[in-house]
Amino acid sequence: MKLKTVLPFLLLSSSATVSAETKAILLNRLKDNWFIGAGFGVQEFAGNPKSDLSFSEMMTPAVNVYVGKWLTPGSGLRLGYNGATFKDNQGDDVPYFNIHGDYIWNIHNTFFGYKPMRIWNFSPYVGAGWAASRGDNTNDGFSINFGLYNTFRFTDAVSGTLDLGGMLADKEFDLQISDDYSFDKIFMASVGVSYKFKKRDWDTTAVKDLNVALLSDEEYAKKMAADSATAAAQQAQEEERARLSSQLNECLKKQTDLMSELNEEKKKVAEGLGEVPDLQLRLMTKMVFFTSASSSVANKYMVDMKPLVEFAKKKGYRLKVTGYADNATGTAAFNKALSLQRANAVASLLEKLGMAKSDLIVESAGGTLIANDMRYNRRVSVELVK
């Protein structure tokens, strides 16, 4: 059968791209260029409210497996699974899984041409899926996935992998109630291996032969005219791009100047020559959390409070200490007394860190229902005041 008859069907039934290296059309079939892979590494959960745990304390093992297909040397699809457990903001292990489909874009093959012997390929990806956490309760929902998929060639079939990715899920994915409109996030880094099934390479048809096979002289002339018009349009786009780039550089310069002014203001504040913004003061508020019916302060808050005390003494601020209790247990009188005990316990801690007693304002709010999760109502707040 002649190429002129067969080639249109090949183009319709397969994926094609143009190789910068060979100047040829690269084709594959449905059964070609499939791959599987697995990786192991670490992951980190980030949610609201922010955890008191350190970065290393929040880190847990991670596993990911996937199967995919390269549609062209520059683009592919894959179906992946991420799972194991993550540590929530309370330090509890929460089992979860995330099944997602991703679009992968091979930067090297797209911009530098397909090279079978290339050692390293760099491929950003983005996708969506379904994630579920399985703690004392369950939270299922839509997930957004993104990352960088790196492969390092060992043989034609086997490659090492480095996957740096992330997942955005529902703001209560960690089964903790949050009033903020935001995402819960899991960031992952894993190393592993991938295996490419046969057929691993690409069929090629020279561009020149393709033009001769598919186009008549009249059609070829029309194509050349269209190519000329396209080149003119691309030139106009390049000129417009240059203009926009000039505008962008001007905006970046203005941004740099504004950042310089901002840094000067921050420097004045640090040297005591300027006022500390109210927003900064509110952001510096510290929280101390307690177990039910307890007024004992954990040792970790010694480290957390010390910078705040030093800042207050240096800038001439007082510290307002307000105690709270949850209203789900105990009488109103008991909760009022308990919240005062908690406030006094934290005030004693601040005195040990060097804060004068006369610069402490101690208050008790009694039993409250500020958050649906009772653990967040058993607390003391420490804020800067004039």
* Domain spans of the chain, in order of start: 33-198, 216-253, 278-385
State the pTM of this model.
0.48
Residue 79's pLDDT band, with cuts at 50, 70 and 90, is very high
Residue 65 CB contacts under 8 Å (≥ 6 apart), including other chains: 36, 37, 38, 39, 80, 81
pLDDT at site 11: 40
Which residues, other chains included, contact 164 with Cβ-Cβ below 8 Å and sequence gap of 6+?
A: 147, 148, 150, 188, 189
Range among 106-120, 176-190, 291-305 with highest mean pLDDT value:
106-120
Which of 385, 369, 373, 381 lies closest to 323 in space, CA to CA? 381
What's the pLDDT score for residue 16? 44
Query: Per residue in 9-64, pLDDT tens?
Result: 334 333 444 444 444 545 678 889 999 999 999 999 888 777 778 888 889 999 99
> Could you tell me where the DSSP H helices lie in the chain?
3-13, 55-58, 107-112, 207-214, 217-270, 278-283, 300-315, 332-352
| pLDDT given for residue 5 in this prediction | 40
pLDDT digits (tens, 9 = 90+) for 102-119: 999 999 998 988 888 999
* Mean pLDDT within 266-294: 74
Class of domain 33-198: mainly beta
Top mean-pLDDT range of 41-50, 80-89, 194-203, 345-354: 345-354
pLDDT tops 60 at residue 133: yes
Mean pLDDT of the chain: 83
The CATH number fitting domain 278-385, selected from 3.40.50.300, 3.40.50.1820, 3.40.1010.10, 3.30.1330.60: 3.30.1330.60
Report which listed range, 69-73, 124-128, 239-243, is most confident.
Answer: 124-128
The answer to whether the peptide bond before residue 73 is cis (omega within 30 degrees of 0) is no
Would you state the pLDDT for residue 178? 65
Cα separation, 249 vs 276, whole angstroms = 32
* Percentage of residues of the chain with pLDDT beyond 70: 83
The pLDDT of residue 194 is above 50: yes
Pairing mode, if any, of strands 318-326 and 360-368? Answer: parallel
Q: Exposed, middle or buried by CB within 10 Å (0-12, 13-18, 19+), for 130?
A: middle
Cα–Cα distance list, 215 to 12, 105, 210, 258, 344 (Å): 17, 31, 8, 58, 88
- What residues form DSSP beta bridges with 34? 69
pLDDT of residue 193: 97
Q: Where are the alpha helices (DSSP H) in 49-112?
A: 55-58, 107-112
Residues 6 or more apart from 188 whose CB is under 8 A from it?
41, 42, 43, 44, 62, 64, 82, 147, 163, 164, 165, 166, 167
pLDDT in tens, 217-247: 677 678 778 888 888 888 888 988 888 888 8
Average pLDDT estimate for 71-88: 91
Lowest mean pLDDT among 14-18, 58-62, 293-297, 365-369: 14-18
